[in-house]
Chains A and B, each alone.
Chain A
């Protein structure tokens, strides 16, 4: 028996059905698989697959969650935002966090960066003016093998009230 599933992703609405037939989303499919393999949103990355590294983080109702351990079947009615949805689709303007990351070279290989930016967005949604300790805490579930952390913290601090980007 198939059932309908409506996904809201980056402001767009996608209609699917859940089931085992070709083109349907099986119950066991993760949100990360749906994003990358069905919708083509490959900004969110698959790394540890256990929710430990943060590379697959997306915003669900404004909060960062690990899409690799989230079932797509459970996303009915949720607002999902991926790294691709942060910028302004009409003007092509990036989110201030993305701008700050570019400005501060806050990445090296960039694999973990979408997840880190999502985690920062999640933090700023709840707390627009975090302390450095709060920033570090909020990013404690995002691992970077290229050691970009220092620049990341600098970039985040730069966009806070009183920071260089204002």
Chain B
């Protein structure tokens, strides 16, 4: 075994002290579980020290406390199975202890250790020495291998989240993607809408423009195509827009507070939505004729038809958000005027300014973003024959494709970066090439070659040898090699800058940072109290979904600032479910694309999935989490018998303690279980049934802990908890309801079983577990 330090604690306090004095230390009771974990190096974190709890005086006891029996955490299982105190109503405790492993193990294993043991899933426990440990979701890795692998001993009730899924982590807004996918599988589109709109009020727009990094993190990439998340999102976004009356409702009550939003881009609109939802009066000051920012003016119609943006604005207006368009702050109104008209202000003025590169003839070129804004003007006149687009980002791609569709004979794109380093998404690059854009990598701008009358002849470029310096900062270096690209129209899409002039000199000094951006803190607060900022103006040019995240954070901060904190929406706590058939489909369903020849400037390039297609695609989502089952037999009995788990710091009801997949996760550093107290259940017939392959050593395939109060064949009261069916012990309250007050019979037990497993979702290889639960339910009645 790999070395660790070893401390034998003489008290729980000393143990806590020892445990917290190391970065990573592990308490050891009997050690029968932990020694295997350490020997096989199952977990990526190996403890620096092991703290032995066995020698703590007075930690092993079974005491009658009147209405309950108290058991010390270091009490060995062999002592529990034989204790005269664990009879009558507590027979289930002795039976469960007796069912654990083998006598050799029970001579060492303790009740405290049993309650805190780690999971026995064969993927989780896969030994590191045999080809490396498996990093499953539960270990902070990727997926649950049971979803598409062998799963005969896994959960039949669904899984549990093991932290945030990779897709959610990739999404700047932290969208709970698997949760809305699950609702769509259930055909509950309203439920799905509510989940996505917790963080993003405009999925119909983001689905169309987002680079969807969520998809590159999708665990289905290990098996085939990633889930086409954006396609499902798009169908959901379309649904939301179709039923906008339902999803963009005016608040039921008003707070009387006012928020002013400067700039109606994605961040501003998002902040407006959440602030309005919270009951504030919201005014958006928009410089342009219409709100929407880059989504309205910078993204070409074929990628994002403007009617979607307009419909969203209409929906937001219907909530009571006021839009003051054609109102430019710094010109038509000052920021001070906005501030005095509102209680808080949010700045979302974007990054629209052309950067000055300082090359000869720069004034003859066009600015990419302006080109996109003014594309309508170009539609009526001739674009150059040989268009040269400079830049390697998504704006450059949009510009290049727009130029192609405007009828340019030849469109060439040059950029500093090599192909694999281009900031544009691979899909966008592929699309540009598909439509004939020629991409030339590794060239920087030197000067524009033009006739004296200003007619452009071409661009002289220099070879770019590296784009970033050693520290990773943008600092291109060039060789002496030059090349001339012939062109009669040069469009620069080499980034956009933030213009802070609108702030006026006083605010500019206060709010602007060295990078030329508006400085914001973690809560999107600026240096001026009551003024918040987000989107590109605060972070430089970036993607819409990041601006949406900013808008959400700012709305919460602003509402709190005005005295109305917004409560975070709570995620549902039911078990995770997936579609056992569709999850193994390797090919993703994506939007139907218009053939290259038919693509144009004023119609969307692709057609959304139908709701049924989207549901099928959502079926491919694995709903990543942990689908293992709880290992501890004693835990099942504790839940059934309503025990209390005492630690050095807290007391937990058993159901609460075992609501976490690994109960110790609930504990503070150094906190240790010290005692369990079990009510005596006098007059109850209790027991523990455990089914497994071999009658010793094996963990439960399914287990049932039960307590019945019966009179003349009638069940007066009952408590049931099942093990081996879910990642945690499951109290079968619905079955209890069926049984209570009824005459005992086989038919009744079957009815209780059916109720208990109503929401069961067995996996491919473990449907048999349901039959086992049924058998245990019948046997527990002792008919």
* A contact set with B: CB distance below 8 Å: 18, 20, 26-30, 49-52, 54, 57, 60, 63-66, 69-71, 73-74, 76, 119, 122-123, 137-138, 140-142
Contact = CB atoms under 8 A, between A and B. Distances in A.
Contact of B36 (A18, A69, A140): A69
B35 interface: yes
B6 A30 contact: no
Contacts of A50: 35-36, 39
Interface in B518-557: none
B32 interface: yes
A66 B108 contact: yes
Interface in B1-22: 1-6, 8
B108 A70 contact: yes
Contacts of B3: 20, 26-28
A66 B102 CA distance: 11
Contacts of B105: 51, 66, 141
5 contacts: A51-B35, A74-B6, A137-B103, A138-B103, A140-B695
Interface centre among B1, B32, B107 (most CB of A within 10 A): B107
B693 interface: no
B456 interface: no
Contacts of B6: 18, 27-28, 71, 73-74
A66 B697 CA distance: 13
A27 B105 CA distance: 21
Contacts of A52: 101-102, 697
Contacts of A26: 3
B78 interface: yes
B35 A69 contact: yes
A60 B50 CA distance: 21
A137 B697 CA distance: 11
A123 B31 CA distance: 22
A105 B153 CA distance: 39
Interface centre among B52, B101, B105 (most CB of A within 10 A): B105
A57 B106 CA distance: 13
Contacts of A63: 78, 107
Interface in B30-86: 31-32, 35-36, 38-39, 50, 52, 54, 78
Given A64-B103, A141-B103, A141-B105, A51 B32 contact: yes
B263 to A, nearest CB: 61
Given A20-B3, A65-B104, 15 more contacts: A28-B4, A49-B39, A50-B35, A51-B32, A51-B108, A63-B107, A69-B31, A70-B31, A71-B31, A71-B35, A71-B50, A74-B8, A74-B52, A74-B54, A140-B102
Contact of A27 (B4, B32, B102): B4
Contacts of B52: 71, 73-74
Nearest to A27: B6
Interface of B: 1-6, 8, 31-32, 35-36, 38-39, 50, 52, 54, 78, 101-105, 107-108, 695-697
A29 B50 CA distance: 12
A54 B696 CA distance: 12
B197 to A, nearest CB: 50
Contacts of B2: 28
A138 to B, nearest CB: 5
A54 B102 contact: yes
B108 A54 contact: no
A64 B107 contact: yes
Contact of B103 (A18, A20, A119): A119
B395 to A, nearest CB: 58
Contacts, number: 91
A8 B105 CA distance: 22
B697 A141 contact: yes
Interface centre among A51, A63, A137 (most CB of B within 10 A): A51
Contacts of B696: 140-141
A88 to B, nearest CB: 25
A72 to B, nearest CB: 10
Contacts of A49: 39
Contacts of B107: 60, 63-65, 122
Contacts of A69: 31-32, 35-36, 39, 108
Please give me the 4 A-B residue pairs with the lowest Cβ-Cβ distance, nearest first.
Answer: A141-B102, A140-B696, A27-B6, A69-B35
Nearest to B104: A141
Nearest to A30: B1
Given A74-B52, A74-B54, A122 B103 contact: yes
Nearest to A143: B697
B103 A28 contact: no
A65 B108 contact: yes
B55 to A, nearest CB: 8
A73 B575 CA distance: 43
A114 to B, nearest CB: 13
Given A28-B1, A28-B2, A140 B108 contact: no
A19 to B, nearest CB: 11
Nearest to B35: A69
B101 A141 contact: yes
A37 B2 CA distance: 17
Contacts of B1: 28-30
A34 to B, nearest CB: 13
A65 B104 CA distance: 5
B103 A140 contact: yes
A2 to B, nearest CB: 12
Interface centre among A57, A63, A69 (most CB of B within 10 A): A69
Contacts of B54: 74
Contact of B104 (A18, A51, A73): A51
Interface centre among B102, B695, B696 (most CB of A within 10 A): B102
Nearest to B101: A141
Contacts of A66: 32, 104-105, 108
Contacts of B50: 27, 71
A57 B102 CA distance: 12
Contacts of B32: 51, 66, 69
Interface centre among A20, A65, A70, A119 (most CB of B within 10 A): A65
A101 B54 CA distance: 35
Contacts of A70: 31, 35, 108
Nearest to A73: B6
Contacts of B38: 28
Contacts of A29: 1
B15 to A, nearest CB: 14
Interface centre among B1, B2, B4, B78 (most CB of A within 10 A): B1
Interface centre among A63, A71, A122 (most CB of B within 10 A): A71
A69 to B, nearest CB: 4
Contacts of A142: 102, 104
A54 B36 contact: no
A54 B39 contact: no
Contacts of A76: 8
Nearest to A18: B6
A71 B104 CA distance: 15
Contacts of A71: 6, 31, 35, 50, 52
Nearest to B105: A51
A29 B54 CA distance: 17
Contacts of B103: 64, 119, 122-123, 137-138, 140-141
